């Protein structure tokens, strides 16, 4: 039953910690892989060296260890296991888990896991019988934590009663029993699906404004903050996609896990997008300047008697260029329509004119605070119809949009 099962053993700080050493041996004899975490208190009872030697693996102790994080992040450490066992489960560890605290490695792993947890409590009988511990144990049972022991017996402190930790073979039996059923606690359906929805897909996103120089110090720009586009790039990366974000000049940070290319002008944005293709999805969230200065002044223009007249020339339309590609057109091309009037009608016209699959329309008129703000109200315009989403944070719009695009891609395949 235990062959190749991965057990993450959290050793708490109590006199019974020495029994955890025997437990490691017993589990490994039965074919399990045992990875151990020691709480700071546990190191007063067993040494990391003996635990490492018996488990045949590295011992983890520190939440903020940069070397451990580089090799295996703490979330991965928790997820990698088939089951977590707390041996001995001290009153402190139980209290932390019952109240959802995560202020050290052991408690963080226990909170981050989606696997079954088996706890073998060991403590002084008065601590075990204390109403606070009773409350915590009742809560943990309700949360799905499985308990083995404690049993009645004589304790190191000289008292007799409940609080003595179960013997290693009883704990092995409890772990074996727990592993008989599916050990992962399912996430809500939308979360699990969303996390995987763009795995293996390539996504290119444009974001922010473009700056079109007039002379070395002046440029044409707009109020775009890049928040919506950056949030979409991050949501796509979180959904498992390989993402290239082509960003105009913004003051917000590059999203984590995304390859970000910084450009200034519309022309540079077009080149960066072309270099990032082919892709499965292209999302044009940038507020690309429609025009650039027809002639560029190598030197700063001087103030004269008459104001200069600015000659403008049209910029390439990046969205229309990508949507119209004859070969390697992305399966889904998505544009934005920032409008101040007739929002939906104009978006529908744009959908047809630019040949995209989805237009996300929003009202950016005076008083909406969309440009540069944190929230957005959008209408999803496709050939099939219009869907209006309630006002929500740009990050929420991004997540919902990525979920929708994942569904659309799947329906097409």
Q: Is 266 in the site for ligand C5P (CB under 6 A)?
A: yes
Q: How many residues bind ligand C5P (CB under 6 A)?
A: 14
Q: Is 364 in the site for ligand C5P (CB under 6 A)?
A: no
| C-alpha to C-alpha distance for 359 and 357, rounded to whole angstroms | 7
Q: Which pairs with CB-CB distance under 8 Å and at least 24 residues apart come from 184-188?
A: 184/114, 184/115, 184/116, 185/114, 185/115, 185/116, 185/144, 186/114, 187/114
CB of 227 to ligand C5P, least distance (A): 14
Q: Which stretch binds ligand C5P (CB under 6 A): 91-99, 108-116, 285-293, 379-387?
A: 285-293
Q: Is 172 in the site for ligand C5P (CB under 6 A)?
A: no
109, 112, 116, 122: CA torsion to nearest 10: 40
3-state secondary structure 193-244: HHHHCCCCCEEEEEECECCEECCCCCEECCCCCCHHHHHHHHHHHHCCCEEE
Q: Is 206 in the site for ligand C5P (CB under 6 A)?
A: yes
| C-alpha to C-alpha distance for 162 and 153, rounded to whole angstroms | 6
Q: Report the 10 Å Cβ neighbour count for 77.
A: 21
CB of 397 to ligand C5P, least distance (A): 14
- CA angle at 222 for the pair 220 and 227, rounded to the nearest 5°: 140
- Tokens for 395? 């990050």
Q: Is 250 in the site for ligand C5P (CB under 6 A)?
A: no
Q: Is 284 in the site for ligand C5P (CB under 6 A)?
A: yes
Q: Is 183 in the site for ligand C5P (CB under 6 A)?
A: no
Q: Is 246 in the site for ligand C5P (CB under 6 A)?
A: no
Using omega within 30 degrees of 0 as the cis cutoff, is the peptide bond preceding 278 cis? yes
Residue placing its CB nearer to ligand C5P in the complex, 82 or 357:
357
Are the C-beta atoms of residues 239 and 223 closer than 8 Å to each other? no
Exactly one of 288, 351, 380, 381 binds ligand C5P (CB under 6 A); that residue is: 288
CB of 406 to ligand C5P, least distance (A): 20
Exactly one of 87, 250, 336, 362 binds ligand C5P (CB under 6 A); that residue is: 336
Q: Is 405 in the site for ligand C5P (CB under 6 A)?
A: no
199 — phi, psi (to 5°)?
-60, 130
Burial (CB count <10 Å: 0-12, 13-18, 19+), residue 340: exposed
Q: What is the distance of C-alpha 366 from the center of its chain?
A: 34
Exactly one of 7, 337, 343, 397 binds ligand C5P (CB under 6 A); that residue is: 337
Exactly one of 9, 27, 77, 318 binds ligand C5P (CB under 6 A); that residue is: 318
CB of 11 to ligand C5P, least distance (A): 55
CB of 190 to ligand C5P, least distance (A): 27
CB of 297 to ligand C5P, least distance (A): 23
| C-alpha to C-alpha distance for 83 and 63, rounded to whole angstroms | 20
Exactly one of 84, 286, 347, 405 binds ligand C5P (CB under 6 A); that residue is: 286
Q: Is 361 in the site for ligand C5P (CB under 6 A)?
A: no
Q: Is 319 in the site for ligand C5P (CB under 6 A)?
A: yes
Residue placing its CB nearer to ligand C5P in the complex, 319 or 378:
319
Are the C-beta atoms of residues 110 and 117 closer than 8 Å to each other? yes
Q: Which strands sit side by side in the sheet containing 385-388, from one edge to the other?
A: 259-262, 242-247, 202-207, 281-284, 332-339, 358-363, 378-382, 385-388
Residue placing its CB nearer to ligand C5P in the complex, 212 or 280:
212
Based on the residue annotation, tell me whether 356 is a catalytic residue of this protein.
no
Q: Which among 175, 135, 171 is positioned nearest to 150, based on CA atoms? A: 171
Residue placing its CB nearer to ligand C5P in the complex, 55 or 247:
247
Q: Which of 53, 75, 157, 294 is catalytic?
A: 157
Residues 140-169: x/- map of binding to ligand C5P (CB under 6 A)? ------------------------------
What is the crossing angle of helices 48-55 and 17-29, to 10°? 10
Exactly one of 136, 315, 362, 395 binds ligand C5P (CB under 6 A); that residue is: 315
Q: Is 280 in the site for ligand C5P (CB under 6 A)?
A: no
The catalytic site residues sit at: 157
Residues that bind ligand C5P (CB under 6 A): 206, 266, 284, 286, 288, 290, 315, 317-319, 335-337, 350
């Amino acid at each position: 039953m235990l062959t190749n099962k991965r057990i993450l053993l959290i050793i708490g700080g109590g006199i019974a910690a020495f029994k955890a050493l025997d437990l490691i041996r017993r589990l490994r004899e039965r074919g399990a892989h045992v990875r151990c975490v020691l709480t700071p208190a546990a190191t007063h009872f067993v040494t990391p060296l003996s635990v490492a030697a018996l488990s045949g693996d590295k011992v983890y102790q520190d939440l903020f260890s940069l070397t451990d994080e580089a090799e295996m992040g703490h979330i991965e450490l928790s997820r990698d296991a088939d089951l977590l066992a707390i041996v001995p489960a001290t009153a402190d560890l139980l209290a932390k888990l019952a109240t959802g605290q995560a202020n050290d490695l052991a408690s963080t792993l226990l909170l981050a896991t989606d696997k079954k947890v088996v706890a073998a409590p060991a403590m002084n009988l008065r601590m075990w019988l204390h109403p606070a511990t009773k409350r915590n144990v009742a809560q943990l049972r309700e949360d799905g934590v499985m308990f083995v022991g404690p049993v009645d017996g004589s304790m190191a402190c000289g008292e007799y009663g409940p609080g003595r930790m179960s013997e290693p073979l009883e704990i092995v039996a409890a772990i074996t029993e727990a592993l008989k059923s599916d050990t992962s606690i399912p996430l809500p359906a939308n979360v699990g699906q969303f996390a995987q929805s763009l795995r293996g897909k390539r996504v290119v996103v444009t974001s922010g404004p473009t700056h079109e120089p007039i002379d070395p110090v002046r440029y044409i720009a707009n109020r775009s903050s890049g928040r919506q586009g950056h949030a979409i790039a991050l949501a796509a990366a979180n959904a498992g996609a390989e993402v290239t974000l082509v960003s105009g000049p913004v003051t917000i940070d590059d999203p984590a896990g995304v390859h970000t290319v910084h450009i200034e002008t519309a022309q540079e944005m077009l080149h960066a997008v072309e270099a990032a293709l082919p892709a499965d999805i292209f999302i044009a969230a940038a507020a690309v300047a429609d025009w650039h200065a027809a002639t560029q002044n190598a030197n700063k223009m001087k103030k004269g008697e008459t104001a200069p007249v600015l000659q403008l020339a049209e910029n390439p339309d990046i969205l229309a260029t990508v949507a119209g590609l004859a070969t390697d057109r992305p399966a889904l091309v998505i544009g934005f329509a920032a409008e101040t009037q007739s929002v939906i009608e104009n978006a529908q016209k744009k959908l047809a004119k630019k040949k995209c699959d989805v237009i996300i329309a929003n009202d950016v008129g005076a008083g909406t605070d969309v440009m540069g703000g944190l929230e957005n109200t959008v209408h999803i315009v496709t050939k099939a119809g219009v869907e209006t989403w309630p006002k929500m944070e740009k990050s929420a719009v991004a997540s919902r949009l990525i979920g929708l695009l994942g569904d659309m891609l799947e329906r097409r395949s």
